Amino acid sequence: MSASRMKIEDFKRLAPAAYAALGALTRAASESGLEAGLLELVKIRASQINGCAYCLHYHLGLARRHDVPQEQLDLVAGWREAPNFSARERAALTWTEALTRLTDGEVPEAAYAAAAAQFSEAELASLSAAIGLINAWNRIGIGFRFLPALATAQVRA
């Protein structure tokens, strides 16, 4: 395990305006009317793709509090092969992967069509903002090597 470069508490103290802006976007996404569990699945999937252990740990905990079934949490990395995701969840995960893995600066039309079929324009705008937000957090967390709470406790032991 790599040593942490900065703790999230330090980031909050050193960049309070940025932290507040990220917090405001978090609140906007959670107040958008999109299902809390769906938003957590999206955040988990983006964090898996990006490899952000801190965000994975954090959003898995939130997903459990929002009653996302453990079977979904176990299978989110392989959601395409798993039968227990709704069409709406599949569209959100497809959109998440497309926005997280920008290939040649483009998002495939099929990903947009799948998302547009399941979400209203307002929902899709909010979902896109939530995906952008978790990607921003992933880059901050990975860049500074934020440690998940469990890892922090083990390092101290």
Q: What's the farthest any 2 CA atoms get from each other in the chain?
A: 50
Give Cα 45 to chain centroid, integer Å.
Answer: 6
- C-alpha separations of 137 from 8, 107, 130 in Å: 10, 21, 11
Is 2 part of any domain?
no
The pLDDT tens digits for 110-135 are 999 999 999 999 999 999 999 999 99
Q: Could you give the CA distance from residue 75 to residue 84 in angstroms, rounded to a whole number?
A: 9
Res. 154: pLDDT tops 90: no
Per the structure, the count of domains in the chain is 1
Average pLDDT over residues 76-100: 97
Instruction: Assess if residue 125 is contained within a domain.
Output: yes
Sign of dihedral through CA atoms 93, 98, 99, 100? positive
CATH of the domain at 89: 1.20.1290.10
User: What are the tens digits of pLDDT across the range 33-75?
Assistant: 999 999 999 999 999 999 999 999 999 999 999 999 999 999 9
Q: Which domain holds residue 98?
A: 8-156
Structure tokens that stand for 24 in this block:
């405001």
Q: Which amino acid is at 41?
A: L
